[in-house]
Structure 1
């Protein structure tokens, strides 16, 4: 199994693919210099494999690299940040 996370800017979402199949996504909205992380969804067939965490980490790392603040509207992402305090510096 190969997990690949990408930023699909045309769809405004980060996507995780497993063996070439879309397994989940994290939707976002860009508002000025803030990225609002809106909704995370993982297909039931891939539940429990840590794909949501991979999406959250990728999105937060991307925000750090772009030097933008994040607004964690998605409860999953907010919980991820609580467990990984190194990302709190990016929260708006």
Structure 2
């Protein structure tokens, strides 16, 4: 377990983009993630937490395989089932 400190987790998404209500299942608990989309595109994500404990996922901009530029977004996070989390609205 100690070997995982500072190593990004991975989230595989069955779509080429993120949207509110999507449930994400990371391969492990981490602060940073490599987000792999179904079309082969990849983005970096970072979990943010405010002083009240509310979580958000900041996703860096990326380009889909079809050439669509997706801007950087911050998504509110809600608890999901068994280690998963759901995306809330984008800020």
TM-score class, shorter: 0.3 to 0.5
Structure with the bigger percentage of strand: 2
Structure with bigger RCO (C-alpha 8 Å, 6+ apart): 2
TM-score between both structures, scaled by the size of structure 1 = 0.33
Which structure has more helix as a fraction of its residues? 1
